[in-house]
A and B are shown apart, each in its own frame.
Chain A
Amino acid sequence: MQTVFSIAIDAFAYGMVLFVISIGLSVTMGLMRVVNLAHGAFAMIGGYIASYAAQHLGLGYAVAVLLAVVGTVIIAIPIERLLYRRIYGAPELTQVLMTIGITFCIIGIANYVFGPTLKTIPLPPALQGSADLGFRSIAVHRLFAIVCGLAVAGGLWYAIEKTAFGVKLRASVDNASMAAALGVRTEIIYAISFAVAVGLAAFGGVLGAELLPVEPYYALRYMVTFLVVVSVGGAGSIPGALLACLVLGGIDTTGRYLMPEFGEFFFYLAVIAIICVFPRGLAGRAR
């Protein structure tokens, strides 16, 4: 019984970290219909900024996180205006080519500027160490990630479903020209959504750095994981992404505990099974 609890807690914690990192991608892919393979690259930029701020400027963790989010958004704005704007509505393959190109460039630049070594973001004392749950201990920063994940999920859901901006966003997604005719400035809506998605990527990159350490190949190494999680959930759906993260995190963790030798098999077989049963993802919307 203890083992079951233990696995469940690990699975939950892992799933929430996955959620925080990949939810931004769900926004770009589901709502803006861009296959953004450069998502990991933005998460990586966030990680680098936070690491630089904390290690070299001696700033606190909270400030570093804030700086990472804002800095990444600022870096992303010209990229959006010059490059992404050209591929909205373009065929998927064109988007793949463009965003892989962007990823390669960012990797190359990161490698040049920061060097190939691992970068860490020092945690504040409050998040260090482990908490005792009675039957086992768990790292405090994992609990923090769980809280942040839930907060992000709630906030996004509220923004998309309940606010005027969310209404406009959904209108622009469903029918851009009609929304524009009704006076919605779709360009601005898209720009804001993109900024939010990038900001979330950066936030996830910093928060998840304990699990997925920041180094130049971060952007490629975890690209597939993010893509898989988002598609299994159904791109654009917040509850779907949450569910997918928990399910996949659960399968992955259980597999690694029970039969670590075949961990990879479990994970990908589960993905295939889920998509075969739900071809649009767990909570995918019909197009």
Chain B
Amino acid sequence: MTLIMNNETVIAKTRQSRTIGRDLTGIGAILAVAVVGYFLFPDNLALLTRIIAIALLVLSLDLVTGYCGVATLGHAALFGSGAYAAGIAAAHYGITSPLLMTLAGILGGAIAGLICGVIILRAHGLPQLVLSISLIYLFHEFANKASSWTGGSDGLSGISPDPLFGTYEFDLWGQTAYIFGVFLLLSVFVLLRVLVRSPFGMLCRGIKEDPLRIMAMGASPKITLIKMYVISGAVAGVGGALNAISTQVVGLDSLSFTQSAEALVMLVLGGTGSLFGALMGTLVFMLFEDYVSAANPFHWLTMVGVLLIAVVLFAPKGLYGTAAGFIARRLEKRT
């Protein structure tokens, strides 16, 4: 309805209400997908919880790649640090409350974000990509070496989170983990919607478009981006913690180049620079992968490759970006 209004004086108000409307639609959409998922695949909640954890990683990647223009193939460093922080807190320090474990994950992710941010932001373009790759390998190797803390290549086991609020257990059927995950995803999503629209979020977008002008305005692009990296780390840390809590084990793969590359692929698939794109990319990629790998466990990689090529050819802005553009054009035609 709001789209038809074109009175000059209400434009500002309209825009505001439109964005809030979009927020509500977004939350509604996530909830709807979550509920549909729950009832449609009640036996597959473990997979759905995993998708949520990865979605948090991809959201966090979107913050630095989509909103700040930082190219990174090492973002799993933040995710894995969060997972190990939560896991080590539980396995070595007996902090088994899921909420405290999440907090540990946020902290671990944020610290890793700070380290990565400071280093990665020293270069641009291709060298930046290579810096991020070097970092993820260093993190991976470090976790492998510190095997008395991390379990090395055997994985960190012995994580047994308490029941949530003392009543809901993280059990085989995974309902608790799933609902906990949906709750985490929703809270993060709402906070991020506020963040990307805040002056700080706008500043980041400005830096992506034209760092020189931002500098002329008196802001420091570097400090701003590092802050964003820390926030991104916290978000990835939530995902990592969720992964550690729901699967009760943390492996070296959570700190791997493969995990990072997959996250980037999901983000670009969905469309960078939009939280919905990140969510959509994760959902489509993970479900597609799950479906084809179950249908043909022996040769599914080719299908995934074909999907990626098709997206570049037919939906160059990513699935969400292209779909949103298409809908916007349709609406424009109608008015």
Contacts and interface: CB of A to CB of B under 8 A. Distances in A.
Contact of A86 (B122, B126, B257, B313): B313
Interface stretch (A53-61, A104-112, A135-143): A104-112
Interface in B189-224: none
Contact of B269 (A97, A109, A284): A97
B119 A108 contact: no
Contacts of A269: 134, 138
Interface stretch (B32-40, B160-168, B300-308): B300-308
B305 A101 contact: yes
Contact of B119 (A100, A103, A265, A272): A272
A264 B137 contact: yes
Contact of A112 (B71, B127, B268, B299): B299
B130 A90 contact: no
Interface stretch (A123-131, A156-164, A224-232, A249-257): A224-232
Contacts of B268: 93-94, 96-97
Contact of A83 (B65, B71, B303, B309): B309
* Size category, B interface: 35 or more
A260 interface: no
B135 interface: yes
B137 A108 contact: no
A271 interface: yes
Interface in B241-282: 257, 261, 264-265, 268-269, 272
Nearest to B122: A276
Contacts of B123: 275-276, 279-280
A245 interface: no
A231 B138 CA distance: 18
A29 interface: yes
The SS class assigned to the B binding surface is: helix
Given A93-B71, A224-B257, A268-B137, A101 B127 contact: no
Given A103-B305, A264-B141, A98 B131 contact: no
Nearest to B316: A94
Nearest to A111: B299
Contacts of A272: 119, 131, 134-135, 138
Nearest to B304: A104
Contact of A271 (B130, B269, B272): B130
A86 B313 CA distance: 8
Interface string A62-102: 00000000000000000000010011001011101110111
Contacts of A93: 65, 71, 264, 268, 272
19 contacts: A83-B309, A86-B313, A87-B312, A93-B264, A94-B316, A96-B265, A100-B305, A101-B308, A101-B311, A104-B308, A108-B303, A112-B299, A227-B133, A228-B133, A268-B138, A271-B134, A272-B135, A275-B127, A276-B131
